Chains A and B, each alone.
Chain A
Amino acid sequence: MSNYYNKMIETAPRHEMRALQSYNLSKTVRRVYENVPLYRQRMDEAGVKPDDIRSIDDLKLLPFTMKKDLRDTYPYGLFAVPMSQVVRLHASSGTTGKQIVVGYTENDLKMWGECVARALTAIGGSNKDFVHVSYGYGLFTGGLGLHYGAELLGATVIPTSTGNTARQILILKDFGSTILCSTPSYALYLIEALKESGIKKEELKLKAGFFGAEPWTEEMRLQIEEGLGIKAYDIYGLSEIAGPGVSFNCECQDGLHVNEDNFYPEIIDPVTLEPLPDGEQGELVFTCLTKEAFPLIRYRTRDIASITHEKCKCGRTLVRMTKPCGRSDDMLIIRGVNVFPSQIESVLLSMGDTSPHYLLIVDRKNNLDTLEIKVEVSAEIFSSDSIKHLQEVEARIRSKIESTLGIAAKITLVEPKTLERTEGKAKRVIDNRKF
């Protein structure tokens, strides 16, 4: 049995949760209808009035919100309260287009902080912990999101933000950090730097880590757990909905519990837009039930996942989502086949021959799509110093990729550290095709 930050909510029987959700949904819909022009316009077009939304079952009557809507109403067009009540702004990194702006009232910040506190508690965190926040502080929701949740929990927060890895390692050792929060790419980078520093993972007091802000595979989780000697947990979120803490792994590491009293999840077919049943994969959609400043209704995240209402062994009844297996905009179509970079990552890591650093280069030659995968050679496979062995590794990777993806790829082994390392989201794909 787990510790719970908010036992009443986290273990609420389903009918009680639905009643709470229905109550908050109708309140929020009325508020956005009255205060957000885009929502009034959309609801009027669909012939839906706030009075029509009496329960969570009526959610399907409401229109969707897309990222484009946030860009079109930049910066404050979707805010539902006067700016005098907005005490915080955050913005996305804008990796695909114009940045989007989100806002929070004082109550929103408390709610978000509690979501993160629940997450930290679920992985065994408490006020005795030293939470090392290596997410960037600033407009990005990662740093401040983990910070406030950890502070609310009463833990000792170490706000290192990103960068200055040598110093971070010293802090991990000297300050006695027990929970690390960063992107999974940065964790792998830290593991390399730790090896080079000569400080052993056993010298650190780290017991757990919360990783997110980019997709990462089960294989990467095992690498991080091994490299740092910790349990590695998933934390999920997006700025449009709040930030990290929308959902979180518990100690079972079997799906992520959604803080559904605040963020109601749906899975829809991205083509027909029809809701899909539990267990089926589709696009994740969230509705903010309790946010004041920036409550989005049926926001299409473009993340692909499935949900389940089966009770978790930790005792929580909060609905669980699977780890997102890729964003529909991460997806590449190569020779008519859907390819997610994460699938390639899975293959590489499960083979164990190479480091997890790779780059996909997609091109078009003679009217045919081509895929080249550059993979960094690791010290382990080079120790034999044999051309034949390296060629065998190349051939094995090529064959495994072909059987997994259904398309052939050129595999190029490259020197270590020649592929870009970033502290934020790792750039894994170069698509040279011009459409």
Chain B
Amino acid sequence: MAIIKQISVFIGNESGRLAEVTGIIAANNINIRALSVADTSHFGIMRCIVDDPELTERVLKDAGVLVSVTSVISVQIPDEPGGLAKVLSVLAENGINVEYIYAFISKEDDKAFVAMRIEEEFRALQILKDNGYEKQ
């Protein structure tokens, strides 16, 4: 598991905006590894893990998009029933609050990843390590 950079984009309530933003990312040959869109009735926040966060931040800012770079904890979990429930209960037992979470599969067999936004990052990392989740 590791702390990785996540790109967050503010998406106004206009049709086609999400297509435009992902289009810019694609045009720059950047690969999106994981994606989540949180929405309200007025606006949305698109969060994604990309293979080049610095480049993504730059090209989106140049295109006038409101971008924020935040960090999330990525943890590798077994791609089987209970994989997700187990890691979440470890955190819950230790009083760690997860603000949001989304999952992505990996090209490797039997492996899945979750990206979690956790305020107490370092304590969470320690707890996960103590519970057998490996540092990457």
Contact = CB atoms under 8 A, between A and B. Distances in A.
Interface of A: 377, 379, 382-387, 390-391, 394, 412-418
B8 interface: yes
Contacts, number: 48
A162 to B, nearest CB: 22
B43 A416 contact: no
B13 A412 contact: yes
Contacts of A413: 10, 12, 42-43
Contact of A417 (B8, B13, B64, B68): B64
Contacts of A416: 64, 66
Contact of B10 (A377, A391, A394, A412): A377
A377 B66 contact: yes
5 contacts: A379-B68, A385-B47, A387-B45, A390-B45, A412-B43
Given A382-B66, A385-B47, A390-B43, A415 B38 contact: no
B83 to A, nearest CB: 26
Tell which of A387, A415, A416 has the most Cβ of chain B within 10 Å. A415
A382 B68 contact: yes
Contacts of A382: 8, 10, 66, 68
A221 B17 CA distance: 34
B70 interface: yes
B40 interface: yes
A390 B44 CA distance: 10
B45 A385 contact: yes
Nearest to A378: B66
B40 A415 contact: no
B65 interface: yes
Given A382-B68, A384-B68, A415-B64, 8 more contacts: A377-B10, A379-B68, A382-B8, A382-B66, A385-B68, A412-B13, A413-B42, A416-B64
A411 to B, nearest CB: 8
Contact of B40 (A379, A391, A414, A417): A391
B43 A379 contact: no
Interface of B: 8, 10-14, 17, 38, 40, 42-43, 45, 47, 64-66, 68, 70, 99, 117
Nearest to A416: B66
Contacts of B10: 377, 382, 413, 415
A387 B66 contact: no
Nearest to B117: A385
Contacts of B8: 382, 385
A218 B48 CA distance: 40
A386 B70 CA distance: 10
Contacts of B65: 415
Contacts of B99: 386
Tell which of B65, B66, B70, B117 has the most Cβ of chain A within 10 Å. B66
A379 B57 CA distance: 13
A417 B12 CA distance: 11
Nearest to A414: B12
A387 B68 contact: no
Nearest to A394: B42
A51 B117 CA distance: 83
Given A385-B8, A386-B99, A415-B12, A379 B66 contact: yes
A386 B98 CA distance: 12
B16 to A, nearest CB: 13
A377 B43 CA distance: 11
Nearest to B62: A196
A387 B64 contact: no
A417 B43 CA distance: 15
Contacts of B12: 413-415, 418
A390 B45 CA distance: 10
Nearest to A386: B99
Nearest to B70: A385
Nearest to A418: B12
Contacts of B11: 415
